[in-house]
Chain A
């Protein structure tokens, strides 16, 4: 039986153009929807830092509500064509991958919460995890208290 073949005008051009664009756009732009290199997990952090924050009664508060949570656990920020980050920008958090300690930012994030909820102070515990001897372990820890400036005005 004879094999039917088609040769419509523009068909070959479309096939080549589609193949080229879907190959090149993700390589050049990483993410420009619908072109995507599916870059999730395409980074290699060595540590991550998180914060555990509790109130005077010992109640543990949600770090994301306080603005000290770890954002974007699996999508590395875009870094192509002058773009850095994502479509929208979350407020900077002191928690993250391979970050330095930032007590000033932690205090700036927690202070509004303390004032709003009339809490005297918060106990902050910063935990940095890394891999030591082949296993995940807490490699560094920092603890301090953030006082409500309304209750304890700065001198």
Chain B
């Protein structure tokens, strides 16, 4: 059978509102504080296209302002699909400028960006239907959400976490012997933390935690085949982020609501 199944847009619209909210929260973390350091590499697609001189604090300010404005309009379904693209591109520009000026990487911005692209394309392809349903005040009862909105959102999540697991395999299997996790705990976790002493004195515990985290990331691929795995994966990834926050203080908390909205374990049908 040709084409994609259409359903009422509760999944996509809920995900949109949540992604816009999370994006708005983390948009304020972007800056060009390290812009005085020598330029090293191009680390974004927009960095290949834009001259470096543009990547300054004014661009950060304006791209954030445009994102907040067009994101609000998008969330209210005003001026679509232009507001969708305005929000998507201004967010991409904002974070690209941030990455281009960083002497490290910040990955919490990636997942919302991929979701923005999926949802912006949805609004692009279905702009007429969305505008008509909005004008008729019947948006949430009109079947105008194609099945690929949920499947590509899940795909984006799987690529983000699954390929993170793959990158660790490429880094070498010795990663799983626990040594590096012990060193990171010793270096980065505050003395007195309840888990710190246990990990730095037990290579077995470190190997268990490190292998476990790696398996959780890699297991993301399973939801592409097994719909029932959405709930376990949402729980495992949430626990993973909470543990990373609790120990290393690396803030990925804005990904947790997105994980639950994307995987949407309450969803009955399996459309992966």
Give me the interface of A with B, judged by CB distance under 8 Å. 3-8, 10-11, 14-15, 18-19, 22-23, 26-27, 30-48, 50, 70-76, 78, 83-90, 97, 129-131, 134-136
A47 to B105, CA, bound (A): 22
Q: Whole-angstrom distance from the CB of A71 to the nearest CB of chain B?
A: 7
List of B residues within 8 angstroms of A23 by Cβ? 159, 163
**Bound form: Cα–Cα A17–B152 in Å:** 11
Interface of chain B residues 150 through 172 with chain A (CB within 8 A): 151-152, 155-156, 159-161, 163-164, 166-168, 170-172
Partner of B2, one of A5, A14, A35: A5
Residue pair A18, B41 in contact (C-beta under 8 Å) = no
Provide the main secondary structure of the chain B interface: helix
Residue in A18, A41, A71, A78 whose Cβ sees the most chain B Cβ within 10 Å: A41
Flag whether B95 is at the interface (Cβ < 8 A). Answer: yes
* Chain B stretch 91-123: residues in CB contact (< 8 A) with chain A: 92, 95-96, 99-105, 107, 109-110, 113-114, 117-118, 121
* Distance from B117 Cβ to chain A, minimum over Cβ atoms (Å): 7
A82 to chain B, nearest CB (A): 9
CB-contact partner of B183 in A6, A75, A89, A136, under 8 A: A136
Interchain residue pairs with CB less than 8 A apart (20): A5-B2, A6-B6, A7-B3, A8-B126, A15-B151, A27-B166, A33-B113, A34-B92, A34-B117, A37-B167, A45-B179, A73-B188, A75-B105, A87-B39, A89-B38, A89-B39, A129-B186, A130-B179, A135-B182, A136-B185
Which of under 10, 10 to 19, 20 to 34, or 35 or more describes the interface residues of B?
35 or more
Q: Is the CB of B186 within 8 A of A41?
A: no
Question: From B100, which residue of chain A is reached at the shortest CB distance?
Answer: A87
Q: Mark B43-64, 1 if CB is under 8 A from A, else 0.
A: 1111100000000000000000
Top 7 A-B pairs, shortest CB-CB distance = A7-B3, A38-B164, A33-B44, A5-B3, A89-B40, A44-B175, A88-B37
Interface segment, one of B10-18, B68-76, B195-203: B195-203
